[in-house]
Chain A
Amino acid sequence: MEANTASTQIAASSGGTYARKSSGLVKDFSQLDAWIYNVIAMNLVVNGALTFGIITVTYPRASLWLAFLIGGFFCTLEAVVYALITAAMPRSGGDYVFQSRVFGGAVGTLFAFTFACVAQVVAMGINGFVFATVIMSPFLALLGGIYHANWMIEVGTWFAGKWGIFFSCLFCTAFAAAINIKGLKWYALIQRICFWVGGACLLVLLVTTLFTSHDTFVSHYNSFMSSFGTENAYQVTLSSGGSTDTSFSLWQTLLAAIIASYVLIYPAWSAMQAGEVRQAKSVRRNLNAMVGAEVFTFGLLALIAVLITHTVGQHFLYASGNLFLSGAENNPLPVPPFLGFLFAVAGKAAIFVWIGFVMFFAWGLTIFSNGALGATRAALVMAQDRILPSAFAKVNPRTHTPVFAIGVYTLLTIPASIAFAFWSNFASYTISYFIMNITAIGVTILAGAVFPFRRPLLFKGGAADHRIGRVPVITIAGAIFVAFVIFVDVMALTHDELGVNGSNGLIFLGVLFGFSALVYITARLYRRFHDHIDISAAYSELPVE
């Protein structure tokens, strides 16, 4: 048939191909935005601050900076796999989609649902706990000491108590719910502002620390602590905190890399929420946003490790951490020896404490809503697959957001908040939270590694089809990261200090995974016998006629 050419209009010609005018031909999203989301998800300020202390106390012979480089190396490979698989399947719902489309809904529910939805309920409790004990309480105590303002010290003390933690959990939950219901415009705006404000503060503190010698730091520290009634606090900390061998150990550094990786395994959080954008099909853009965020985060953490070890001293980090963990009565410090405090002291002026406070507050605020956002996106896709009730996919006509899903998530976080605040032993159950996350991510990366063989039609010639020799890059990178995850899991199960090698950690993992398994089995049976639907049709590949 002779074609009617009257209406064909060529809208663009790019790289030797010709595109006609048609819907959806949009330009790029800002790579900077996607990069910011991923940097914020890893959050080198809040998560990094905790990690420094944990590593130093747990593995005093580990090289801090090398631990971050080793962890960063493996997590960069993880980011490469995410960049490639996101380009192949740019879907909202991230990990759940990748796992279910490669391994089926049972695996997707057991691991990705546990990671992206169930664990995020617990994560909100952790957020509140961190907000109270790492941000509000120590900074208010420091500022109260500086300004001799008892009310600030009292409020800081209150934050560290049960009701302060509970209030913080509720604050984080309410903030996340409000942002997610109000609409993502606000989320994006607040995140961007917080990133730049917090980043500027971080830069100031880094530069200040860079120009502070060890002797100057000791002098500033002793001077600062004298306002809290402790003379020669640096020396007192060293002598009270105990001595330890801090000579380099490669094995301890490898184990420390496991703890470092707890911060570094989220370079692709944007895949969860920006997956629908057409440009997510571009491997180059994904590499910039995901690998770029990873390299930036672990590079900066390694740099901070060098700075802090040089300026503060590894023995001091160990001793002060030890004192903090053994109880406040033994500790000359008014607050935990976390990064913000040490940075702030390096400057020897109240302004630096304020800068540290703003930095932690800004970067802390931005991660509260991340979990809720990712959880509701994954729940939406699972509702479309008929695994979760369809109400989870409903979008409120007034706010254009999944209000039901956000509401359920918010309600579920309340018991988790109560547990964190009033059940003193609850935090010990959640130590294996990180092991669960890295294991679930490991399953996603395994899905990426076998993706070329399980979905050859989708892989071959597609965006993810990059090879070294004849072997797909995604398989090579994925296999190495999965080997690292196996190492992490084995070490976690055999080393008490990593948290899972205890009944509490195992109970926690069992409850979360058990709940997810129950959800899948219930959905499968209900849909089969009540709705007469086989939910595997949601992801089973059709034959090609």
Chain B
Amino acid sequence: MFRKRREEEDGSRVSLFFATDLHGSEVCYRKLLSAARAYGASILIMGGDCTGKTLVPIVQRGDSWTCRWSGEEKTYVDSRAVEELEKEVKNSGSYPVLVGEDEVERWEREPERIAERFSQTMADTVGDWMRLGAERLESTGVRLIVTPGNDDEFVVDEVLAEAPYIEADEGKVTALSERHQMLSVGWSNPTPWDTPRECSEEELAEKIQRLAGEIDDMSNAVFNIHVPPYDSGLDSAPELTDDFSVRNAGVTSVPVGSTAVREAIEEYQPLLSLHGHIHESRGAVSIGRTLAINPGSIYAEATLQGAICELGAGEVRKYQLTAG
């Protein structure tokens, strides 16, 4: 124990917890904040895709509220029940919004207003999360590093940049300890969904290469790159047809990771490489001397998947995938 503390103090050992693709799940974020204590980590890293995908209107009609949730339309007359519903929606990774009938009608006429509200809600929620994180972690000394992913719009970067205490490290090299450095890239190779933060493989290679040049010691480096390396077993997604239907009941999968990321890992051989993006492709694999991890994500189940990693001098001393 004393050895561990001494090594942490002299920078030769660092314990981190990495989770990714929370997609707006409030309960997963709150679990992330408790993970440092539960797993004994000194650094929390929240990988990309922190924002949700769905807006759930709770429409006020007189003294009652109606909402379509979990496939059913429900009416609520008790404001406490509405609060419960809001909590449920937030925990599942969607955004509940209390609106009047007139606003919903206006959304029907002017769909751009939905986009506006969506974006505002995402920004507000990330802002709230960051304030909560600062409040809970500042006194403990635990660091929280946050990087966006391909599904996060650029407004998220603005919110993170203004957040207190939190380290927003997209496109940067960060010191994890005196010995260990981490580069972060939230961009992905092209996806069928045309998401906000996509680029070609060549551009992705350039982004990684630029940051890799800033790393002092690659044998103690960590890559935090949202998209996993191609054909690594961390990037298997259900095979789709041209119209986005899942082939063969999901039995068949195809690699969808980035070749640029794979080549960068093979070339630079960092100590550890952390990924997300493909929720269903949880795992840990070795690519040369690099341990590459995708903890996966099951945010909609109120469960935080992550990876505890303890880094020593030129080695990953231990790692464990978690589902808490």
Chain A residues at the B interface, C-beta cutoff of 8 Å: 1-5, 7-11, 13, 15-31, 33-34, 37, 88-89, 91-92, 101, 183-185, 187-188, 270, 273-274, 276-281, 284, 380, 384-386, 390, 393-395, 397, 400, 457-458, 460-463, 465, 531-535, 537-545
Contact B324 A18 (CB under 8 A): no
Confirm or deny: B246 has a beta carbon within 8 angstroms of a beta carbon on chain A.
Answer: yes
Point out the residue from B34, B92, B154, B284 that lies within 8 Å of A7, measured CB to CB.
B154
Name 29 interchain pairs, CB-CB below 8 A, sorted by A: A3-B122, A16-B56, A16-B57, A17-B55, A18-B57, A20-B115, A23-B195, A25-B244, A26-B240, A29-B245, A33-B251, A101-B323, A184-B251, A184-B252, A187-B251, A188-B247, A188-B249, A395-B232, A395-B285, A397-B232, A400-B254, A400-B255, A461-B70, A465-B70, A532-B317, A533-B320, A539-B323, A539-B324, A545-B30
- In the complex, chain B residues whose CB is within 8 Å of the CB of A462: 70, 92, 301-302
CB <8 Å contact, A537 and B322: yes
Asked whether any CB of chain A lies closer than 8 Å to the CB of B141, the reply is no
Contact check: which of B127, B285, B320 meets A386 at CB < 8 Å? B320
Is A394's CB under 8 angstroms from B277's CB?
A: no
- Let me know if B251 and A188 touch, CB within 8 A: yes
Q: A384-B282, A542-B304 are in contact. Are A22 and B27 (CB under 8 A)?
A: no
Which residue of A is nearest B255, CB measured?
A400
Shortest CB distance A185–B (Å): 5
- The reply to whether B118 and A10 contact each other, CB–CB distance below 8 Å, is yes
Number of interface residues of B (CB under 8 A): 92
B298 touches A91 (CB 8 A): yes
Q: Are A1 and B119 within 8 A (Cβ)?
A: no
Q: Across the interface, do B324 and A277 meet the contact criterion of CB distance under 8 Å? A: no
A110 to B240, CA, bound (A): 36
Q: A457–B30 contact, CB under 8 A?
A: no
- Chain B interface, DSSP helix/strand/loop, else mixed: mixed
Contact A458 B302 (CB under 8 A): yes
Chain A residues closer than 8 Å to B53, beta-carbon distance: 19-20, 22, 25
In whole Å, how far is B61's beta carbon from the nearest beta carbon of chain A?
13
Nearest B residue to A386 via CB reads B320
CB within 8 Å of A: which B211-258 residues? 231-233, 236, 238-240, 243-255
For A29, the closest partner residue in chain B by CB is B246
Query: Which B residue sits closest to A402, measured CB to CB?
Result: B233
Check B34–A29 contact: CB distance below 8 A: no
Flag whether B162 is at the interface (Cβ < 8 A).
yes
Task: Find the A residue at minimum CB distance from B241.
Answer: A27
Neighbouring A residues of B119 by C-beta, 8 Å: 3-5, 7-8
**Which chain B residues lie closer than 8 Å to A33 at the CB level?**
248-249, 251
Cβ-defined contact, A4 with B153, below 8 A:
yes
- Contacting pair B150 A537 (CB below 8 A): no
B25 CB, min distance to chain A CBs, angstroms:
11
Q: Is the C-beta of B68 less than 8 angstroms from some C-beta in chain A? A: yes
Complex-state Cα separation, A504 to B296, whole angstroms: 44
Tell me the nearest residue of chain A to B283, going by C-beta.
A393
- Whether B249 pairs with A544 at a CB distance below 8 angstroms is no
Question: Which single residue of chain A is at the shortest CB-CB distance from B120?
Answer: A3
Residue B71 lies at the interface, judged by CB distance under 8 Å to chain A:
yes
Q: Which residues of B contact A (CB under 8 A)?
A: 27, 30-31, 33-35, 38-39, 49, 53-57, 67-71, 73, 85, 88, 91-92, 94, 111-112, 114-116, 118-120, 122-123, 127, 132, 136, 150-151, 153-155, 158-159, 162, 191, 193-196, 231-233, 236, 238-240, 243-255, 277, 279-280, 282-285, 298, 300-304, 308, 317-318, 320-324
Residues of B within 8 A of A9 (CB): 115
Pair A1/B127 contact, Cβ less than 8 Å: yes
In the assembled complex, the CB of B117 is this many whole angstroms from the nearest CB of chain A, namely: 9
Q: Would A273 and B136 be within 8 Å (CB), given that A17-B57, A541-B324 are in contact?
A: no
B249 pairs with A461, CB closer than 8 A = no
Cα A426 to Cα B221 with chains together (Å):
56
Specify the chain A residue showing the minimal Cβ separation from B254: A400
Complex partner residue of B318 from A274, A533, A538, CB under 8 angstroms: A533
Nearest chain-A residue to B136 (Cβ)? A545
A535 to B70, CA, bound (A): 34
- Establish whether residues B162 and A1, one from each chain, have CB atoms under 8 Å apart when the complex forms: yes
- Find out whether the CB atom of B70 lies under 8 angstroms from the CB atom of A390: no
Q: Which of B91, B150, B159, B255 has the most CB of A within 10 A?
A: B91
A33 to B280, CA, bound (A): 20
Q: A184 CB to closest chain B CB, in angstroms?
A: 5
Alpha-carbon gap, A30 to B115, bound state (A): 32
Closest to A187 in B: B251
Most B Cβ at <10 Å: residue of A34, A91, A284, A542: A542
Q: What's the least CB distance linking B171 to chain A, in Å?
A: 17
Chain A: minimal CB distance from B8 (Å): 15
Q: How far is the CA of A274 from the CA of B111 in the complex (A)?
A: 36
In angstroms, Cα B307 to Cα A479, docked, is 36
Distance between Cα atoms of A91 and B301 in the complex (Å) = 11
Complex partner residue of A400 from B253, B317, B318, CB under 8 angstroms: B253
CA gap between A183 and B136 in the complex, in Å:
48
Cα–Cα, bound, A88→B300 (Å): 9
B318 engages A4 (CB within 8 Å):
no
**With A and B bound together, what is the CA distance between A31 and B248 in angstroms?**
9
* Residues of B contacting A184 in the complex (Cβ-Cβ under 8 angstroms): 248, 251-253
Q: How far is the CA of A179 from the CA of B254 in the complex (A)?
A: 16
Name the contact of B193 in the complex, choosing from A16, A23, A183, A538 (C-beta under 8 A). Answer: A23
Determine if B31 and A25 form an interchain contact, defined as CB atoms under 8 angstroms apart: no
How far does the Cβ of B23 sit from chain A's closest Cβ, in whole Å? 8
Q: Chain A contacts of B34 at CB under 8 A?
A: 542-545
In the assembled complex, the CB of A183 is this many whole angstroms from the nearest CB of chain B, namely 7
Q: Write out the residue numbers on chain B whose beta carbons fall within 8 Å of the beta carbon of A397.
A: 231-232
Known: A188-B247, A384-B283, A537-B322. 12 other contacts (CB 8 A): A10-B111, A21-B194, A22-B195, A25-B244, A29-B245, A30-B248, A33-B249, A184-B253, A274-B249, A277-B250, A393-B233, A400-B253
Cβ B321 vs Cβ A538 within 8 A: yes
Report yes or no: A457 in contact with B302, Cβ–Cβ below 8 A.
yes
Rounded to whole angstroms, the CA-CA distance of A102 and B262 in the bound complex is 36
Which one of B92, B118, B252 contacts A185 once the chains associate, using CB atoms below 8 Å? B252
The chain A residue with its CB closest to the CB of B58 is: A16
* B231 and A400 form a contact (CB under 8 A): yes
Chain A hits for B195, CB < 8 A? 21-23
Closest to B250 in A: A277
Is the beta-carbon distance between B249 and A460 smaller than 8 angstroms? no
Q: How far is the CB of A409 from chain B (nearest CB, A)?
A: 18
How far does the Cβ of A37 sit from chain B's closest Cβ, in whole Å? 7
Whether the pair A544, B30 counts as a contact (CB closer than 8 A) is: yes
Interface pair B193/A27, CB less than 8 Å apart: no
Contact of A25 with B193 in the complex, beta carbons under 8 Å: yes
Q: Which of A22, A28, A537 meets B151, CB within 8 Å? A: A22
A279 and B246 in contact, given A16-B67, A393-B233 (Cβ under 8 angstroms): yes
The CA-CA distance from A462 to B114 in the complex, in Å, is 25
Known: A538-B323, A542-B324. A23 touches B191 (CB 8 A): yes
